[in-house]
Structure 1
Amino acid sequence: MWRNYLTVGLRALAKNKVYAFINIFGLSLGIAACLLILAFVRYEFSYDSWMPGADRAFQLQDFYKPTKAGGEEMKLQSSSFASGTALRKDFPQIERVVYFYTGRVAVMRDGQPVSPGRTALTDGPIFDILQIPFVRGDPKHALDDPHGVVLSETAAKAQFGNADPMGRTITLISGKMTADYRVTGIFRDLPKNTHLEAETALIARFDPQSYFADNPGVLTSWNNQNGYIYAKLKPGADPRDIEAQFPAWEKRNIPDDVTEGQHTNPGDQQDFKLVRVPDIHLGEAQDGPGGSGDKGTVITFAVVALLILGMACINFTNLATARASQRAREVALRKVLGATRKQLIIQFIGESMLVSAIATVLGLALFELALPALNAFLDAQITVDYFGAGGVLLPVIVLTLIVGIAGGVYPAFYLSRFQPARVLKANKSAAEAEGNGQLRNLLVVAQFAVSIGLIICTVVIYGQTIYARTADAGFKREGLLQVENLITPQAEAAGQALVEQVRRIRGVTAAARTSIAVIAGSNSATSFRRPGQEAVELGIYVIEPDMLPAMGMRLLAGRNLSEANGMDDATTPPSADQIDFKEDRALVARGLNVMLSEVAAKRLGFASPQAAIGQRVDGGMVDSTLGYLPTTVVGVVSDVRYRTVRDPLQPIFYYYQKTGFRQMMVRFEGDPKAINAEVEALWKRLVPSVPYRSRFVEDIVHNVYKRDERSAQLFGAFAVLAVVIGCLGLFGLASFTAERRTKEIGIRKVLGARTRDIVRLLVWQFSRPVLIANLIAWPVAWWVMRDWLNQFDVRMGLTPTPFVLAGLLAVLIAIGTIGAHAFRVARTNPVHALRYE
């Protein structure tokens, strides 16, 4: 019997080849697309879940709230060293706390400093918290040695070749530290789904007290977030109980600021959170090395996956129900010959499940073929297991059954109840069918509403990405080189000679050192006030006078800072007594000339840039016990957006001193590679102990918006798939409708209807659902895209253009899908349609 059911099912498919192709190919496309998207979603949620003990591993994150003085909301993965010390001291529920500093570390090789890749320094057994798999050594004791270092497999091979690296000595350089380290372990190369970044090559033990001896504020300030705090909770400890104690803990540990007799506690604007290590990647804080995930986008893709699969299932069910009534005579004859209703139900559901099974197998094949391309596009390592707890085979089988039953249940129960006498007496033809197809039209509307919505989202996301890359940032991106690693003592010592010689390079038009750079990830801010007014918070950065021509900034009022003017220079000699602040006292007594950005002048209440010139602004640039540093505004410059367009434009206070630079900006004309090579040659001659690192600003900006560009491209790809699936279903329904209306079309032609009249009739019938779909898709897409665009401080306008374009495109595609078929049907000789009468 089952062989008979299979034979009948295969014959039905062979008899209706177009119907079978549309059903199978459309459903397989939907299944493949759904599996691809869900594999990506699952991968994004899998970050660090491969790490043993990850349920007890947490990162302390520092969230800042805006204050009355202004400022901005900041959600930081990084925390201060002081917060880790206090956490270790005050919470017995925490088993271990480790400080993780991602300062740059160079390795001496053949007498030259070489950057091995991503590096980190830690003050404790980090591998007890982040249980990275080792291939050599004991992870629990690898960093017991104060001069122990562990390497990744790739870094070990690069350093030692095929020789055994264990116990070998390498020289590390970081900051003022140059020391020999012994290799105590080799860890497996990290997978790409980790917040630590897969390129992590070296993790070494260090002593923060000696490393930061020249800058003790790093160890004591709660506002100096220069590293990461990891904590391992004791078994059974509840992180929510610990977080509930944080407000009192902050008050108890964070010292008050005392300025002019007023006590304020910086902790009032700070909130600390313990975040599970697997939750870091898609967490709220995105400033760290794992800050490349967007939970909202990932969830959106999951919804898109289900919508595309739903569209494919709608196609399947739509065509199955549309073709069902054409088999009325077949059912009647089967019943006359003795078939029971149960046998008919099994037959039709079996046929539906056969088609579903074939489509599923084809969908899995398409999924396997497309997965390598998706991995290459996302630079990911997405893998899929078919068996086991996380295998996809069981869900796919369940999906096959659900889709097969959904597509076959209506034909099975509807057709199996036909009365043979009524059907055969009425001489029902294979082209006739009951019902007006309202349900099928509603399903077509739903399909095209999804397609139009995806097209709109694609256009808006891609448009915003282009807008963000090309929006005026207040400086010229082209012809700008950003040289980094200037924060090291060796580079600082050679800094003046370096920048002067860079300016002499042919093609270089300007060069200047600065503590702020394009999308550098660092932030510095403090409070400022005009006499008699409340304080406001401004960004504060060191620049050289040549920063204006190097960045292409415009001087709106006043003058530029000058190295020749002593009042423009905030440099103070290092004090032997860090408590006395003698040099700072002298600076406070003398005062300082500074510049403001245009928005900073507005924040301080100046009516215009010219109105700020010569005015006094007091800045919290010195220890709070000394009060405010009196400064005089000598210039106001145009605003520069150093950060991404997602972040608000920071009002900036610029001043000059001879130290504290992190980057050098080089403006040039001519061949970028040649200029970079010459700067690198100068660097290696003047700063031989520090690796050279530079990036073109155009590349920096392009890379930072790569995530949004990938999202747009993925949305575009899946929007195309959605349209293809919708058109397949529309073509199938058009074919079916034209077939069932063969007699009607013949009569119309006999009565004088022209071919174009028939084409217009059929096209209009199938264009109406698409037009209705626009009315549904437009408001939903507008609401979704409005919320997405609100993430950006600078954003494109949400004009009607993407909506009209998407709607017109959908209508044109629908007309193109059914137009040729309608034309062919309309040209058919009416004799062929009416001869059976």
Structure 2
Amino acid sequence: MFKNYFKIVLRNILKSKVYSFINISGLALGMIVCMLSIIYIRYELSYDTYHKKVENIYRVTSEYSNPQGYNPHFARCPDAWINNLPDEFPEIKTLVRFQWTPSVNLKIRENKFRSFKWYFTDANVFSVFSFTMIEGDPSTALTEPRSVVITKEISQKYFGSGNPIGQEIIAINEATGQYVHYKVTGVINNLPKNSHFQIEFLVSYPNAEARTGWAWIYLLLKEGTNPVLLEKKLPDFIKKYAGENAARTNFLHLQALKDIHLYSNLDREIEPNGDIQYVYIFSIVALLAILIAGFNFMNLSTARSLKRAKEVGIRKVLGADSKQLINYFLCESIFYSFLAILISILMVTIIFPFFRSILGIPISISSIFNLPMISYFLLLAFITGTLSGIYPSVVLSSFSPATAFSKGSNLTKSGKQVNLTLRRSLVVLQFTMSIVLIIFTFFSYKQFSFINNKKLGFNKEQIIAVSNIPRNDQLKFPLLKNALEKYNGIGGVTASMDVPSKDILDAGFTRVEGIHSGDESTVLSLQSVDNNFIDVMGIRLSAGNNFDLTTSKQSPSKIMSLNEMQQYVSAKNYSFLINESALLKLGLKSPDEALGRKLLWSNAAFNLSGKIIGVVKDYHYASLKLQVRPLILVDEPVWQGNFLIKISPQNIKSTIKYVEKEWDQIYPDNPFQYEFLDDMFAQLYRSEERQGQILSIFSILAIFIAYLGLYGLTAYASEQRTKEIGIRKVMGASVPGVVSMLIKEFVLLIIIANIIAWPTAFYFINKWLQDFAYRIEISWWIFILSGGITLIIALATVSFQAIKAATANPVESLKYE
């Protein structure tokens, strides 16, 4: 039976080539969008799932609060007391800590380089995480002090094809400048890219019990443990172990490892994470594309129903019942769908490298077309074919033999009995979806253009940043500054605690003379910069003065311990600059009112005091998704570990070469690695821009499919009214009159689609824009423009078919049927 069905379907395809091409191509385009979306969604959902124990691994996060409204939620915790968790709770099987060093200067044989992926961790890390050991013993690799496990990539890059076990890696102590010798005790496979953090070196945790720093804490819970119930017990643990910090650490939370990438955007994340919102957006676009393709298929199939009426009549005369006819037409629909999926797989194979490069996802073709994915795609084809074919199958099987063989108006009336309301509703839905996609594409383009062109309040062009300089090298900054400022191609050199493009999270309690009394305070962020920062970055002063040169020269001549640094900072009388947001937060009415006031700033470690000497204009030092924080600027050299160098746009290569030469002379053990500041800002939005590009392409494809559906409905309407058009022309109707008669119904459908689409698009766009602290206004002209574009293209599509029908020979039209 199915063999016979196949032959007939193939014959119909060859007989109606244009119809078949439109039908199959429409389904194929929808499936391409759907398949690529599935690939992206599956990759995003796969983060950290390669760990065998992922279901039982949780990260501990810490949340703080105070009456002033500063409520940071950190992805890490203080490791001085948090490691007591397994002793208190039998539900916890293992605790593992990761402590990151921002940058480490390393020497392997003759190679000197800096690593930004150097993590201290506990020896039991391999019993929790599935880091595959290819050399060494995972049970003992990190038990001895100064042991280090490296990745396969590092091993091959610096040790070649030989066995690196027992080889030496030298790290330069950032505080003392002394060499620290580590022994390689293991090699692990490179971590998959779908991991929420990447590593190059795992180092044995030094003096773990004595450390008072912060670490990312992961727990392996015993099977059957309820993490919600465990989290409810943690407040008592805080009171018992946090000591004087208990009042500051309000909550500890448990976060599932598999949720970190898409659901976590906390302060001090180990690496930037993804966003579940984009998974939802890709899911919606995929669904819309396949729905539009399915509706398109239904409309085109129904448009041919009258042509196939005699076929249905003959089959019924020969004994076929409605059930058999429905099965046949469903098989035909599924056959079309499977042809479309084969074309889609071929096209995805061709365009996937382009798709992968835009989104930046490291997926190979072989990893896509495996058995599970092929199964998903075949299931997609079956479901699409079945759902798209049900309605046309019922319509076609509903013709009675008498009606099917009748001539003239009987068959036409029978055709009119087909539910036109449903079919028109499908077109309205298609265009509602299309208009929403067009509007979203316009707004996403406009928002990212706004971000890229928005004035930040400082100059980010032609500035290179050298980040995370070890403390011992910071002492030599005056030497570098003097050497570079002599060169004509360099416009200025400055140092800061944080590089612009990174959020400033060092906040403390601030008290200002005449504003706060008693224990009152306001929480403000603190940034340390030298006296050149304002000028080099082009930041404007609203009132007062910049730091003077003598302040920047008051730098200690040696690396200090924490206690020494606390005493040093507390003894100094500082000068402060504040930004305009801080001015408002402090309740000061004008910049002049702030000048000369005494300011006290303190956090858990340091206390600073001095006078406000100036007010600067707000500048956007981080992502425009964040509001500008109220900010205090202070010139404290011990906290200035990032160097910024402004270079001339002429002879950039030679200028950078000069900087590198001077750098190598002053910092022989610290390789020169830099980034352009404008690239660092662009990187903040690169993921959203890439996703926006793909969504725009998907939207165009979905819209194109919708117009195929409109073409199908126009063909159906023109075919139904062929005889009527012939009569009207015989009676004197003009071609424009006939065309107007045919297209007015479709104009109404497009207007209805706009009425539905505009408020729908407004809701989703407004919600999407809420992620941005600085956002465009929702302009109504974009809605009107999108509706106009849709209407113009729709009119062009409908008019093509309408003019064809209106200009046909009326004699031939009267002969129709």
1:555 match: 541
Residues 1:808 and 2:807 aligned together: no
CA distance in 1, matches of 2:6, 2:187: 58
Aligned equivalent of 1:370, options 351, 357, 362: 351
Superimposed CA distance per residue, residues 179-211 of structure 1 (whole angstroms, 9 cap, x where no aligned partner) = 2222221111222111123xx32222241569x
Q: Which moved more, 1:140-149 or 1:533-542?
A: 140-149
Please state whether the residue corresponding to 1:578 is helix, strand or coil. helix
CA separation of 1:238 and 1:12: change in aligned 2, threshold 3 A? same
**Which one-letter code corresponds to 1:490 in the other structure?**
N
CA distance in 2, matches of 1:454, 1:346: 35
1:241 match: 229
Identity over aligned pairs, percent: 30
CA separation of 1:144 and 1:4: change in aligned 2, threshold 3 A? same
Verify the 8 A CA contact 1:149 1:185 in the aligned structure 2. yes
Alignment of 1:740-779 (within 5 A): 740-779=720-759
Alignment of 1:655-804 (within 5 A): 655-670=634-649, 671-804=651-784
CA distance in 1, matches of 2:243, 2:482: 43
CA distance in 2, matches of 1:745, 1:117: 75
Residues 1:181 and 2:182 aligned together: yes
2:125 match: 126
CA RMSD of aligned residues (A): 2.8
Verify the 8 A CA contact 1:95 1:233 in the aligned structure 2. yes
Residues 1:355 and 2:336 aligned together: yes
CA separation of 1:793 and 1:155: change in aligned 2, threshold 3 A? same
Verify the 8 A CA contact 1:572 1:584 in the aligned structure 2. no
CA distance in 1, matches of 2:97, 2:319: 81
Superimposed CA distance per residue, residues 620-671 of structure 1 (whole angstroms, 9 cap, x where no aligned partner) = 26868xxx65421111111121110111211111112232212112223223
Verify the 8 A CA contact 1:94 1:231 in the aligned structure 2. yes
**Which one-letter code corresponds to 1:666 in the other structure?**
I
Verify the 8 A CA contact 1:251 1:267 in the aligned structure 2. no
Verify the 8 A CA contact 1:325 1:434 in the aligned structure 2. no
Residues 1:503 and 2:503 aligned together: no
Per-residue deviation, 1:711: 2.0
CA distance in 2, matches of 1:542, 1:341: 81
**Which one-letter code corresponds to 2:429 in the other structure?**
A
Q: Which moved more, 1:126-135 or 1:755-764?
A: 755-764
CA separation of 1:360 and 1:658: change in aligned 2, threshold 3 A? closer
CA distance in 1, matches of 2:592, 2:525: 21
2:75 match: 77
Q: How many residues align?
A: 804
CA distance in 2, matches of 1:583, 1:402: 71
CA distance in 2, matches of 1:755, 1:794: 53
Verify the 8 A CA contact 1:758 1:826 in the aligned structure 2. yes
Per-residue deviation, 1:122: 2.2
Unpaired stretches in structure 2, ≥5 consecutive residues: none
1:545 match: 531
Residues 1:14 and 2:14 aligned together: yes
Per-residue deviation, 1:86: 4.2
Residues 1:637 and 2:625 aligned together: no
CA distance in 2, matches of 1:174, 1:746: 92
Please state whether the residue corresponding to 2:308 is helix, strand or coil. helix
1:213 match: none
Please state whether the residue corresponding to 1:102 is helix, strand or coil. strand
1:318 match: 299
Alignment of 1:254-269 (within 5 A): 254-256=242-244, 265-268=247-250
Per-residue deviation, 1:472: 1.8
Verify the 8 A CA contact 2:150 2:201 in the aligned structure 1. yes
Per-residue deviation, 1:760: 2.9
Please state whether the residue corresponding to 1:281 is helix, strand or coil. helix
Per-residue deviation, 1:232: 2.2
CA distance in 1, matches of 2:443, 2:816: 54
Verify the 8 A CA contact 1:254 1:266 in the aligned structure 2. no
Q: Which moved more, 1:656-665 or 1:404-413?
A: 404-413
So what's the TM-score if we normalise by structure 2? 0.92
Verify the 8 A CA contact 2:169 2:182 in the aligned structure 1. yes
CA separation of 1:51 and 1:376: change in aligned 2, threshold 3 A? same
Unpaired stretches in structure 1, ≥5 consecutive residues: 211-215, 258-263
2:138 match: 139
CA distance in 1, matches of 2:324, 2:29: 31
Per-residue deviation, 1:154: 1.6
CA distance in 1, matches of 2:592, 2:679: 36
Please state whether the residue corresponding to 2:757 is helix, strand or coil. helix
Aligned equivalent of 1:101, options 95, 99, 108: 99
Residues 1:460 and 2:443 aligned together: yes
Residues 1:272 and 2:257 aligned together: no
1:617 match: 599
Verify the 8 A CA contact 1:51 1:131 in the aligned structure 2. yes
Superimposed CA distance per residue, residues 387-423 of structure 1 (whole angstroms, 9 cap, x where no aligned partner) = 66xx134444444333333344334444434332344
Per-residue deviation, 1:367: 2.9
CA distance in 2, matches of 1:275, 1:392: 29
Superimposed CA distance per residue, residues 476-512 of structure 1 (whole angstroms, 9 cap, x where no aligned partner) = 11122212232x1331221221122222222222211
Residues 1:489 and 2:466 aligned together: no
CA separation of 1:563 and 1:783: change in aligned 2, threshold 3 A? same
CA distance in 2, matches of 1:732, 1:372: 33
1:392 match: 373
**Which one-letter code corresponds to 1:658 in the other structure?**
P
Verify the 8 A CA contact 1:118 1:201 in the aligned structure 2. yes
CA distance in 1, matches of 2:76, 2:273: 15
Verify the 8 A CA contact 1:641 1:649 in the aligned structure 2. yes
Superimposed CA distance per residue, residues 121-170 of structure 1 (whole angstroms, 9 cap, x where no aligned partner) = 22433222222112222223221232222222221111011222222222
Residues 1:578 and 2:563 aligned together: yes
**Which one-letter code corresponds to 1:609 in the other structure?**
P
CA distance in 2, matches of 1:83, 1:773: 61
Per-residue deviation, 1:585: 5.7
**Which one-letter code corresponds to 1:420 in the other structure?**
P
